[in-house]
Structure 1
Amino acid sequence: MDRAIDYYFATPSPWAYLGHERLAALLAAHRRDVRVLPVDYGRIFAVSGGLPLLQRAAQRQAYRLVELRRFADHLGVALNVQPRYFPVDAAASSLLITAVAHADGMPAAMRLAGAVLAACWREERDIANDGTLTELLEETDLPAERLAQSKDADTLARLEAHTQAAIDAGVFGAPTYVVEGEMFWGQDRLDFLQRKLGL
């Protein structure tokens, strides 16, 4: 049986940011592999009934900010709930992580994904900007040429395949963790994932 965890997420997701380091710790503690799978949530929302943030009702948007502050305080994680560069296009950073996963392996992709998430939500950097992405490659000791590789057709095809796999698995929100066919939606379900891994 495949014991790897499929990690579906959006690079501009604050919830993925809040859960990323805890997921990494779970992987290490339980000696599990991970497939790092950034996906296009525009496609996923279109088939799952979800709405992009700015299309949600005002009261939902307001309560989201309350919950982000609560979780950040509870977890002791530095988080700007309304960062300078948000909303932000996820495509460039998703493609870059996809290129790194293919060329350098999943541990490298986890490292870069964590840096991208932190750049958006802790450091208020523009993760849609090539200059920022080049800096993040350098900061995570990854080859600069991955940026050019992220723009090729093969990388786009891989990202599209990740997204279709997420749709096929029933994914509708970010982050989602799937292990042995069981889905866990949200960083607030990492406790349940930990129980699953401990079985």
Structure 2
Amino acid sequence: MAHIDYFFATISPFTYMTGTRLEEIAAKHGATVTYKPVDIMGLFSRTGGTPPKDRHPNRQEYRLQDMARRAKLAGLPINLKPAFWPTNPAPSSYAIIAAQNAGGGDMGKLIHGLTAACWAGEKDIAQDDVIRDCLSAAGFDPSLADSGLLQGADTYASNLEEAVNRGAFGAPFYITDTDQRFWGQDRLDDLDAYLSGRL
């Protein structure tokens, strides 16, 4: 059975634009997924990336144009300059880690709910009430928003180390159990093709 380690950031617009396609692809191929939220700014700094605010204006302008096109192709609404971005990604990441450990809900729906709250819902995903609502909507106990914080912090830090050590440098980033790496939601078709044996 194939396995995918999914490195992502809850404040990443491109993680948002993944939607639930990863889960659909995994189900199609009988693959399992481990969800690994990472500190994207930490990942950038460790692997030669530049935070969006520090990029040349040409790159900033292109990023916004590309985001608008990608969202339209994905059929998703997007606010290119959301009110609560960037925000602290740690609380939502800790909640995802706790939810994965607890089980019983829909992880893809949880991650999409949190990223959509940021990029389409004008909500601050660092706030407990927003995180609780997303947990509930995805079938998880909302109290996971404030449980296992120490373990969440440790796992969040170790996810960053693992991402760097395994060759990731952005989000979303998918790594198969055969060490095939796919960067970006626009490479999901490639991941699908690989799992199908066509790549």
Equivalent residues of 1:45, 1:51 under 8 A apart: yes
**Counterparts of 1:154-169 in structure 2 under 5 Å?**
154-169=151-166
Once the two structures are TM-superposed, the CA of residue 150 in structure 1 deviates from its matched residue by 4.2
Counterpart of 1:97 in structure 2 is: 96
SS in 1 for 2:181: strand
Q: How does the TM-score come out when normalised to structure 2? A: 0.92
Distance 2:4 2:19 in 1: 13
- What per-residue deviation string (whole Å, max 9, x for no partner) do you get for residues 17-71 of structure 1? 1113221211121121100110112321222111111111222111111001111
Counterpart of 1:190 in structure 2 is: 188
Amino acid at match of 2:71: A
* Structure 1 unaligned spans of 5+: none
Residue of structure 2 aligned with 1:129, choices 123, 127, 130:
127
Amino acid at match of 1:168: N
Question: Could you tell me the percent identity over the aligned residues?
Answer: 35
Equivalent residues of 1:15, 1:175 under 8 A apart: yes
- What per-residue deviation string (whole Å, max 9, x for no partner) do you get for residues 77-123 of structure 1? 22222222112221111111011111216x63322111111111121
Equivalent residues of 2:20, 2:108 under 8 A apart: no
Runs of 4+ in 1 over 6 A off after TM superposition: none
Q: How does the TM-score come out when normalised to structure 1? A: 0.92
- What per-residue deviation string (whole Å, max 9, x for no partner) do you get for residues 152-174 of structure 1? x2221111111111111111011
* Structure 2 unaligned spans of 5+: none
Which 10-residue stretch deviates more, 132-141 or 88-97? 132-141
Residue of structure 2 aligned with 1:172, choices 169, 185, 196:
169
Distance 1:132 1:108 in 2: 17
1:37 is aligned to 2:40: no
Equivalent residues of 2:11, 2:89 under 8 A apart: yes
Equivalent residues of 1:173, 1:185 under 8 A apart: yes
Equivalent residues of 2:5, 2:36 under 8 A apart: yes
